[in-house]
Amino acid sequence: MLATTLAAPLSLAAGTTSARAADTPSAPAGQKKPVVVMTSYHDDVVAPFKAAFEAAHPDLVVEVLWQPGREALDTLSKPDHGGADVFWGPSLDTFPTLRERGLLRALDVDRTALPGKIGGQPISDPAGYFEAFEVAGYGFALNDTLLRERGIAPPKTWADGADARFAGLVAMPTSAAAGFASALYDIVLQAEGWERGWAVLSEMSANTTTFQGGVMASVDVSEGTAAIGPTIDFYAFTAGNTGKPVGFVYPARTAFLPAQVAILADAPHPQAAKTFAAFLLSRSAQERLPAPDIRRHPVRPDAYGTAPEGFGNPFAGARDDFVYDAPLGRKRRTLNAALFDVAIAERHERVAALWAAIRAAEAALAKNPDAERAALVAQARALAGRVPVTAATASDSDALAKLGEAVDAATRAEWAAAIDAAQDEARALLARAGKTSP
């Protein structure tokens, strides 16, 4: 079970300390001193690092509070931070929000071997309040056997996932059901451009039979019900650990986004917290990340020497031609999720039928070219994946802030009407081109 599926405090392996209530007092003199860590990581990550830390620091004991990022923000925003010293885990929103609220202290660790970025992509806080612990790459899980049997080449770009050769063979996570999907789809939107990105996602959805929660997309690929699925690399790695024929490919323009570690401003055990954070970022700890039972990417380039053969190193050959704007992605999380629901998930069958009609028209034109009909079909294609929000609005901090945590029903209804009008026009254009409207 992965961390995103849990809903209760973490239960650690035998011999470790269980999650403690926030008001438990510090250990008396002569006993081990605690460091209280709030995390959304599950046992597969927490247990080995907890055991290694306590072995290296026998005077300290790690006490774990499990909460997912959004809930953790509420707890950590309390005056006592819920009793936590350290926040540790994957949460692109929570760390910068805690910093903005003045709830973190500067993280005083040795950064000599920590570049803080991959290529031109920042992964740590430039102000020094939180540091990347590991990174996850975004791309496509692959069922190597199914692709080979069908004679289909793996995708090399995000747009490849929208190609007709993958019709019925794509598993996509819904933006609402998968916590990572907001970043995943925003990477596509930034890599391809706002308008082109939505067209890619729309046509990719036409290759999808059903939408799934985050981990289930990788499960569909591993079980052979889908050939490819956009996801995070470690979900694919986890599926591959079961012996299934699961591979992974990073598109040409993608991003590696971090899980991080920070110390709370009023941490009750600040020195122990600093020791724990420094341990997580040490070479010996980082070298544990690529292990088959963890399969995460270290943030220290010098930690890849002991990685298993074939384990990717994002620092090797990192490029600057595409730098994902994570702060922008964070601001438009609400917008992207709502647009995905309205434009794609809620009208999936109609959208898929429209794209099928466009592809059929294009196939007919390939056999019998006609400039006038081709122009009509090209106009239909341009309308099929259009969303009623401009690139300028999607990059406007004030406009994005006004959306808050949810897009209101009236706005969603306006979007739906605009999308339906554009797609109706696309169908009319196809009819004019001599094709039957779906």
Q: Which one is predicted more confidently, 25 or 101?
A: 101
Phi/psi for 236 (5° steps) reads -65, -40
Residue 4 has pLDDT above 80, yes or no: no
Supply the pLDDT for residue 312.
Answer: 87
Supply the pLDDT for residue 214.
Answer: 55
The Cα 422–Cα 235 span in angstroms is: 36
Supply the pLDDT for residue 125.
Answer: 97
Supply the pLDDT for residue 357.
Answer: 97
Query: Range with the lowest mean pLDDT among 190-204, 237-251, 284-298, 323-337?
Result: 237-251
Residue corresponding to tokens 């996801």: 231
Residue 16 has pLDDT above 80, yes or no: no
> Please, what is the angle between helix 348-367 and helix 409-432, to 10°?
20
At 359-409, the pLDDT tens digits run 999 999 999 999 999 999 999 999 999 999 999 999 999 999 999 889 999
Topology (CATH) of 3-135+258-303: D-Maltodextrin-Binding Protein; domain 2 (3.40.190)
The Cα 259–Cα 91 span in angstroms is: 6
Q: Which residues contact 391 (CB under 8 A, 6 or more apart)?
A: 193, 194, 195
> Please, what is the angle between helix 348-367 and helix 371-384, to 10°?
160
Question: Dihedral through CA 30, CA 31, CA 36, CA 40, nearest 10?
Answer: 160
Q: Which residues contact 68 (CB under 8 A, 6 or more apart)?
A: 3, 4, 6, 40, 91, 179
Residue 290 has pLDDT above 90, yes or no: yes
The Cα 183–Cα 225 span in angstroms is: 25
Inter-residue contact 430 to 437 (CB < 8 Å): yes
Burial 39-52 (b: 16+ CB within 10 A, else e): bbbbbbbbbbbbeb
Inter-residue contact 227 to 221 (CB < 8 Å): yes
Inter-residue contact 184 to 326 (CB < 8 Å): no
Supply the pLDDT for residue 215.
Answer: 63
Residue 3 has pLDDT above 80, yes or no: no
21 DSSP 8-state letter: -
At 35-82, the pLDDT tens digits run 999 999 999 999 999 999 999 999 999 999 999 878 999 999 999 999
At 111-141, the pLDDT tens digits run 999 999 999 999 999 999 999 999 999 999 9
Task: Write down the domain spans for the chain.
Answer: 3-135+258-303, 332-438
Residue 18 has pLDDT above 50, yes or no: no
At 164-217, the pLDDT tens digits run 999 999 999 887 655 788 899 999 999 999 999 999 999 999 999 877 655 677
Supply the pLDDT for residue 22.
Answer: 37
Supply the pLDDT for residue 19.
Answer: 39
Supply the pLDDT for residue 308.
Answer: 86
Structure tokens at 230: 């956009």
Phi/psi for 203 (5° steps) reads -70, -30
- Percent of the chain residues topping a pLDDT of 90: 78
At 94-104, the pLDDT tens digits run 999 999 999 99
Supply the pLDDT for residue 381.
Answer: 98
Residue 340 has pLDDT above 90, yes or no: yes
Burial 69-101 (b: 16+ CB within 10 A, else e): beebbebbeeeebbbbbbbbbbbbbbbbbbbee
* Maximum pairwise Cα distance, the chain: 87
At 268-287, the pLDDT tens digits run 999 999 999 999 999 999 99
Output the average pLDDT for the chain.
90
pLDDT band, residue 319 (cuts 50/70/90): confident
Q: Which one is predicted more confidently, 51 or 222?
A: 51
Nearest CA to 352 among 221, 212, 209?
209
Q: Specify the DSSP element, H or E, that contains 384.
A: helix 371-384
